[in-house]
């Protein structure tokens, strides 16, 4: 019998967009799956639309409703707790997929009994109809260690997304991997970084069957238009980077990955956090943090990764040797 897949769809005020998404999921050629919609305290008709579409689809489904909006991390965790499949996929409530998206991921992850697998995706710009592919920049004739793939993900040599990835559910539960509850932005990168570092094996497909839809009301656009939301987004991303670095330093089985965590990711997390203090014009906090030995050690250690990410070390050097200049540059409106 084919593997059972749980497909988790977190949704918040998605009533105007979720129908085509769920129809796209219901049209998958992979049959042995359940669809779990988590309505995260929506004030619109998200729940009713989801119930109506999925009832007509004939698919196995459940709709879980939060009484209040608690954020995408909590919504995904709720779906993860509710999942009963052998594998789980997270799917955004305003995106689409080709009819063979799930089957391609299942075939990819089961080929070598991997803990996770990912594929490429397509950016679709709703206003123009234009599509741009984001392929997997790996040689399909080669095999890659989890150490290599983790390093490539950290250095952004490969760009899998949370929604273009399938996970073995038993692996996530054994490792205790969940999304950080307080984090609303950057939670997906943190989760993927942790997952990469703990996998026994990872597989990939070069195919691009997930469709990431860009539209005017998407969160990434609306947060950029509101200064307070933009700052919250940046702060969450900074904290997510720092947490992921500490997690890898403690849990990664590879000495190479632990070194990257301690000497590159920590520096990246500190720089982002110092940027937050600058953006808030909090020079006292900026100076306090920069005076911490751990901060200075991490900034200096980033020199070991100059050839991978020279821009990061240049920022670190400016912070170490001209902090006042850096603060003034970053604190400008």
- CATH number for 55: 3.90.550.10
Measuring CA to CA, which residue among 51, 60, 64, 131 is closest to residue 95? 131
Domain assignment of residue 255, given as a range: 226-330
Q: Rounded to the nearest 5°, which phi and psi values hold at 293?
A: -60, -40
Is residue 207 located within the same domain as residue 241? no
Distance CA 190, CA 239 (A): 9
What is the pTM (predicted TM-score) of this model?
Answer: 0.94
Encode pLDDT of 250-293 as tens digits: 999 999 999 999 999 999 999 999 999 999 999 999 999 999 99
Instruction: Using alpha carbons, list the distances in angstroms from residue 12 to 68, 69, 88, 150, 236.
Output: 10, 8, 20, 31, 19
Is residue 195 located within the same domain as residue 287? no
Is residue 268 located within the same domain as residue 192? no
Count of CB atoms situated within 10 Å of the CB of 76? 23
What total of structural domains would you count in the chain?
2
Among 217, 248, 278, the domain boundary falls at: 217
CB 201 within 8 A of CB 113: yes
Distance CA 116, CA 199 (A): 7
Encode pLDDT of 105-161 as tens digits: 999 999 989 999 999 999 999 989 899 999 999 998 888 999 999 999 999 999 999
Is residue 35 located within the same domain as residue 172? yes
Encode pLDDT of 47-75 as tens digits: 999 999 999 999 999 999 999 999 999 99
Among 196, 217, 238, the domain boundary falls at: 217
Mean pLDDT of the chain: 95
Is residue 190 located within the same domain as residue 151? yes
């Amino acid at each position: 019998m084919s593997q059972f897949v749980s497909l988790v769809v977190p949704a918040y005020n998605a009533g105007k967009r979720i129908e085509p998404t769920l129809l796209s999921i219901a049209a998958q050629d992979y049959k042995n799956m359940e669809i779990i919609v988590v309505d995260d305290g929506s004030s619109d008709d998200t729940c009713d639309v989801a119930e109506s579409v999925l009832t007509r689809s004939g698919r196995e489904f459940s709709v879980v409703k939060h009484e209040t909006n608690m954020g995408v991390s909590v919504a995904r965790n709720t779906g993860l707790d509710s999942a009963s499949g052998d594998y789980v996929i997270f799917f955004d409530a305003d995106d689409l997929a080709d009819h063979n998206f799930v089957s391609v991921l299942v075939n990819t992850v089961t080929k070598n009994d991997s803990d996770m697998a990912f594929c490429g995706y397509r950016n679709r710009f709703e206003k123009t109809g234009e599509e741009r592919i984001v392929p997997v920049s790996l040689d399909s004739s080669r095999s890659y260690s989890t150490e290599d793939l983790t390093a490539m993900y950290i250095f952004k040599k490969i760009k899998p997304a949370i929604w273009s990835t399938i996970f073995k559910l038993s692996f996530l539960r054994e490792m205790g991997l969940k999304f950080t509850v307080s984090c609303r932005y950057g939670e997906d990168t943190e989760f993927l970084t942790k997952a990469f570092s703990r996998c026994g094996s990872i597989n990939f497909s070069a195919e691009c069957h997930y469709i990431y839809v860009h539209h005017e009301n998407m969160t990434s656009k609306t947060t950029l238009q509101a200064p307070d939301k933009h700052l919250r987004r940046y702060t969450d991303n900074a904290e997510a980077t720092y947490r992921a670095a500490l997690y890898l330093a403690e849990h990664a089985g590879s000495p190479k990955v632990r070194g990257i965590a301690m000497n590159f990711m920590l520096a990246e997390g500190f720089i982002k956090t110092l940027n937050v203090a600058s953006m808030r014009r909090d020079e006292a906090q900026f100076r306090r943090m920069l005076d911490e030995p751990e901060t200075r050690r991490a900034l200096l250690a980033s020199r070991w990764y100059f050839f991978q990410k020279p821009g990061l070390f240049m920022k670190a050097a400016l912070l170490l040797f001209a902090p006042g200049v850096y603060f003034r540059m970053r604190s400008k409106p």
